[in-house]
Amino acid sequence: MPKYMIDYIRLCRECSLDLRTVGNMLSIVIPSLQREAAEIRKAVSEFAGQFPELEQDAEELELAIRAGLQRCKPQPLQQDLFAA
C-alpha cells in the first residue's frame, strides 16, 4: 500500500476532530481515496485472484474510508454545541 494511504489511515485514527481538518477530510481526502479504491477494485477485477496484495489493499482502504466517514460525522452533542 502506498505511503500516503497509510498516512491517511494513521491521521484519521489520530484526528482531533478540528472543523478545518474534518472539512478537508470530507471534501478532499476521502473523495480522492474513494476514487483510488475504485480504481484498485477495477484493476483487481480484471485480474481476478492474480494480485491478492492489491485486493487486500483495496479492502483495507475501503474499511479506512468507511471508518473515516463515520468519525467525521458530527455527533448529536457536537451538533448541539455548534447550534448554540
Per-residue model confidence as pLDDT tens for the chain (84 residues)? 778 777 777 777 777 777 888 888 888 888 988 998 899 888 888 877 788 888 888 888 898 888 888 888 766 555 555 655
**What's the predicted TM-score (pTM) here?**
0.69
Residue type, 10: R
Give the dihedral sign, CA 62/9/69/32.
negative
C-alpha cell at 35: 476514487
Q: Which residue type does 15 have?
A: C
Taking CA 60 as the corner, what is the angle to CA 55 and CA 62, rounded to the nearest 5 degrees? 95
- How many angstroms separate the CA atoms of 12 and 71, rounded? 8
Q: Nearest to residue 27, comparing CAs of 71, 69, 58?
A: 69
